[in-house]
């Protein structure tokens, strides 16, 4: 066998041994052995390191000490800790064992001096004292030596990634988690912090450096490839600024979750360190809504959710279930997605729900379900939403987004539903495409029927939802897996973004706030340029733009516009009790025209695409097609 193969084999065995936890009985035996030796050392100290203590019967005493140590360790359980994870708690536990053993020995000394025939166990009190300090010192030292030995082996055998930690305050907890890991994934080379009270100090013998010290030369010298940002309190904008700097230096960026996800404020699990995701890089602080009235509105009610298997519908369903409805009825035509939602609810031990595979366009089945369950609140999320597809299929867009929505709204009135909350989109504002126009038509119908209805019709508008089906984020992720390029329709196109939980918070909040007839919109901050988003995703994936992954400009798609709006021409907004939630002030609507045009669209199956779009434009004056074949209709 060659020396190289022998070295590899020994290394593998060492790694296996280092990864294995020492058996508890083994630790217990070693601890007892240490106590026996500590007792001998205590005698040596007492007699000035000479063996002239023959008058004391040390051998019977050794057996007694071993037995009493065994009892002490059983009481405290100090041998049960994982030695390679030794910390302050283990040191305290070992000290408690030493205290208990010392108390036992003092009792033995007292009894031996009172009872004839037990003189063999008359231990000098000084030996008892020395034994306490020596045994505690040796027990703690042995654990620390083992821990250091284990870390050294794993650092040599595991090829850990060299990293820096940004954020010294909570970074210490991250560093502790790295050192305590059974298999070292990271080797920390330094910590970074902007605050003067940390700069120049060291944590676990690693320096805390100011950000200006982290340069290409430093990273190359120490072969550092990754950074862990440990600033869970940072806003999205702060996180963006920190991450951007490291991305420009070519580092892979990871982060830790908010402190409320930690084991406690000082401890974090190593598996909680994750790659920074794009949601955290949006340059705005996530909108949080905490309205206790939501629970009061939903608890004990029968709730319908249409489009329940979609990204928005399923999140609404998850949030609603935590407010204890009497029954949650989940309606969707997508069988597989609805089955997945059902299994998810079962795994969470939810019981008060019913799943129904149904099409909202089927008036017979929908009427039967309204009649059977008598809902008090309806969240209407069912819709066709993909702009290019609906531009090519206006018939389908009208059938679902307008006529399907109309049927559900009419049933809500017929069965005296308390609240009907409709999920709309910023594409309904000054629409430039068929999808946006059909959503605007549904908004208009809801506004018109509100005037003579006891049901409260409430509309919510928001921008693009991160992580939803068909979102640009998922498209970029697929393209990155294929090796690129990432496709962007226009270099200057921008969009508003929000997370799925945020969007659904708006829906629930609107249902609580709404008195009927309102359109609720979010103050969504600044729009994000899609081209910049693509570059960030490339960098987050560990690639360089354009050397590794390029971005291809494909041109605007039919019906697509460069920017979105949440308020239409001539619309203002009113404040609500939440500073980020506004109520749109609507233009006057010709309801008679709306009713007539929707009635005309009932025969859309007999119409051409141009005839359908013409009716939509007659109903919605602000609907002006962009980059679409239907632009010719705007010239008439």
Q: Which pLDDT tens digit goes with each residue over 496-513? A: 777 777 778 878 988 888
Q: What is the mean pLDDT of residues 292-304?
A: 91
Give the pLDDT band of residue 182 (cuts 50, 70, 90). Answer: low
Cα atoms in the 13 Å half-sphere on the side-chain side of 513: 25
Q: Which residues contact 80 (CB under 8 A, 6 or more apart)?
A: 24, 27
Q: Which CATH number fits domain 158-276: 3.20.20.70, 3.40.50.720, 2.40.70.10, 3.30.70.2190?
A: 3.40.50.720
Query: What per-residue confidence (pLDDT) applies to 21?
Result: 46
Enclosing H/E stretch for 573: strand 572-575
Q: How far apart, in whole angstroms, are the C-alpha atoms of residue 108 and residue 67?
A: 12
Sequence spans of domains, the chain: 17-154, 158-276, 293-468+497-525+565-630
Query: What per-residue confidence (pLDDT) applies to 398?
Result: 97
Q: Tell me whether domains 158-276 and 293-468+497-525+565-630 share a fold.
A: yes
- Highest mean pLDDT range out of 96-100, 380-384, 494-498? 380-384
Q: For a pLDDT cut of 90, what percent of the chain falls above it? A: 36
Residue 603 has pLDDT above 90, yes or no: yes
Give the pLDDT band of residue 205 (cuts 50, 70, 90). Answer: confident
Q: Which residues contact 426 (CB under 8 A, 6 or more apart)?
A: 461, 462, 463, 496, 564, 565, 566
Nearest to 279 by CA among 537, 539, 487: 537
Query: What per-residue confidence (pLDDT) applies to 7?
Result: 46
Of the given ranges (551-560, 573-582, 588-597, 610-619), which has the lowest mean pLDDT? 573-582
Catalytic residue among 301, 385, 406, 427: 427
Residue 571 has pLDDT above 70, yes or no: no
Residue 253 has pLDDT above 60, yes or no: yes
Kindly report, residue by residue over 331-354, the tens digit of the pLDDT. Answer: 999 999 999 999 999 988 888 999
- Please name the fold of domain 293-468+497-525+565-630: Rossmann fold (3.40.50)
Query: What per-residue confidence (pLDDT) applies to 594?
Result: 96
The helix/strand/coil state of 357 is strand
Query: What is the overall mean pLDDT for the chain?
Result: 83
Residue 162 has pLDDT above 70, yes or no: yes
427 is known as an active-site residue: yes
The CA-based angle 26-32-38, given to 5 degrees, is: 135
- Report strand pairing: 572-575 vs 519-522: unpaired
Q: How far apart, in whole angstroms, are the C-alpha atoms of residue 68 and residue 88?
A: 24
Please indicate whether residue 376 or residue 55 has the higher confidence score (pLDDT).
376
> Which regions of 91-224 does DSSP assign to beta strands (E)?
161-166, 186-192, 202-203, 206-209
Query: What per-residue confidence (pLDDT) applies to 609?
Result: 95
DSSP string, 390-431: HHH-HHHHIIIIIIIHHHHHHHHHHTT-SEEEEE--GGGSS-
Residue 377 has pLDDT above 90, yes or no: yes
The two tokens of residue 390 are 């609906």
Give the pLDDT band of residue 396 (cuts 50, 70, 90). Answer: very high
Query: What per-residue confidence (pLDDT) applies to 15?
Result: 47
Give the pLDDT band of residue 397 (cuts 50, 70, 90). Answer: very high
Query: What per-residue confidence (pLDDT) applies to 62?
Result: 85
Q: How far apart, in whole angstroms, are the C-alpha atoms of residue 411 and residue 349?
A: 31
Query: What per-residue confidence (pLDDT) applies to 458?
Result: 95
DSSP 470: T
The number of beta carbons lying within 10 Å of the beta carbon of residue 233 is 10
Kindly report, residue by residue over 485-495, the tens digit of the pLDDT. Answer: 999 999 998 88
Q: How far apart, in whole angstroms, are the C-alpha atoms of residue 326 and residue 173?
A: 44
Q: How far apart, in whole angstroms, are the C-alpha atoms of residue 277 and residue 122?
A: 68
Q: Which residues contact 249 (CB under 8 A, 6 or more apart)?
A: 214, 215, 216, 219
Q: Are 624 and 432 in contact (CB under 8 A)?
A: yes
The reported pTM is 0.64
Q: What is the mean pLDDT of residues 105-134?
A: 83
Q: What is the mean pLDDT of residues 376-405?
A: 95
DSSP string, 46-107: HTTT----TTS-HHHHHHHHHHHHHHHHHHH-GGGS-GGG--HHHHHHHHHHHHHHHHHHHH
Which residues, in sequence order, are bridge partners of residue 458? 421
Residue 459 has pLDDT above 60, yes or no: yes
């Amino acid at each position: 066998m060659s020396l190289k193969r022998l070295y590899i084999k020994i290394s593998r065995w060492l790694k296996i041994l280092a990864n294995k936890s020492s058996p508890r009985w083994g630790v217990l035996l070693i601890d007892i052995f240490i106590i026996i030796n500590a007792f001998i050392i205590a005698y040596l100290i007492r007699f000035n390191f000479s063996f002239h203590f023959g008058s004391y019967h040390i051998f019977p005493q050794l057996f007694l000490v071993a037995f009493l140590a065994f009892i002490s360790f059983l009481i405290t359980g100090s041998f049960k800790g994982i030695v390679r994870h030794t910390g302050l708690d283990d040191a305290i536990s070992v000290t408690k064992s030493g205290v208990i053993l010392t108390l036992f020995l003092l009792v033995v000394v007292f009894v031996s001096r009172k009872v004839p025939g037990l003189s063999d166990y008359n231990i000098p009190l000084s030996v008892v004292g020395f034994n306490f300090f020596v045994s505690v010192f040796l027990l703690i030292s042995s654990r620390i030596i083992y821990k250091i030995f284990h870390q050294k082996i794993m650092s040599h055998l595991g090829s850990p990634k060299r990293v820096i930690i940004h954020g010294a305050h909570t970074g210490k907890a991250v560093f502790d988690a790295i050192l305590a890991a059974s298999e070292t994934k990271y080797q920390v080379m330094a910590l970074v912090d902007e605050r003067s009270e940390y700069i120049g100090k060291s944590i676990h013998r690693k320096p805390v450096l100011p950000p200006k010290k982290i340069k290409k030369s430093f990273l190359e010298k120490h072969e550092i490839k990754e950074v862990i940002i440990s600033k869970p309190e940072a806003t999205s904008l702060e996180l963006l600024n920190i991450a951007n700097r490291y991305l420009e230096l070519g580092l892979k960026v990871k982060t830790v979750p908010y402190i409320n996800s930690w084991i406690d404020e000082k401890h974090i699990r190593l598996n909680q360190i994750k790659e920074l995701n794009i949601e955290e890089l949006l340059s705005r602080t996530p909108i949080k809504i905490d309205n206790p009235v939501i629970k009061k509105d939903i608890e004990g009610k029968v709730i319908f959710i249409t489009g329940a298997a979609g990204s928005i519908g399923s999140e609404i369903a998850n949030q609603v279930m935590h407010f204890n409805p009497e029954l949650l009825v989940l309606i969707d035509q997508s069988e597989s997605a609805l089955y997945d939602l059902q299994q998810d609810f079962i795994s969470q031990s939810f019981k008060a729900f019913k799943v129904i595979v149904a099409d909202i366009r089927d008036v017979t089945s929908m009427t039967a379900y309204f009649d059977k369950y008598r809902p008090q609140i309806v969240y209407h999320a069912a819709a066709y939403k993909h702009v290019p597809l609906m531009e090519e299929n206006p018939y389908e867009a009208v059938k679902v987004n307008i006529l399907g929505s109309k049927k559900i709204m009419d049933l809500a009135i017929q069965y005296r539903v308390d609240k009907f909350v409709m999920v709309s989109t910023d594409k309904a504002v000054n629409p430039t495409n068929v999808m946006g126009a059909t959503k605007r038509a549904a908004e208009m119908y809801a506004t018109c029927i509100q005037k003579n209805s006891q049901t409260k019709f409430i509309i919510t508008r928001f921008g693009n939802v991160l992580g939803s089906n068909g979102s640009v984020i998922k498209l970029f992720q697929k393209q990155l897996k294929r090796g690129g390029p990432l496709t962007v329709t226009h270099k200057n196109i921008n969009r508003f973004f929000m997370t799925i939980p945020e969007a659904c918070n708006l829906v629930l909040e609107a249902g609580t706030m709404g008195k009927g007839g309102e359109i609720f919109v979010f103050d969504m901050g600044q729009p994000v340029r899609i081209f910049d988003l693509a570059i960030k995703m490339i960098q987050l994936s560990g690639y360089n733009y354009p050397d590794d992954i390029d971005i291809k400009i494909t041109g605007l798609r039919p019906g697509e516009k460069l920017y979105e709006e949440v308020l239409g021409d001539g619309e203002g907004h009113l404040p609500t009790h939440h500073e980020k939630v506004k109520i749109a002030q609507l233009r006057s609507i010709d309801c008679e025209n709306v009713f007539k045009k929707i009635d005309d669209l009932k025969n859309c199956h007999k119409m051409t695409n141009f005839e359908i779009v013409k009716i939509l434009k007659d109903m919605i004056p602000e609907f002006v097609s962009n980059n679409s074949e239907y632009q010719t209709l705007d010239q008439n």
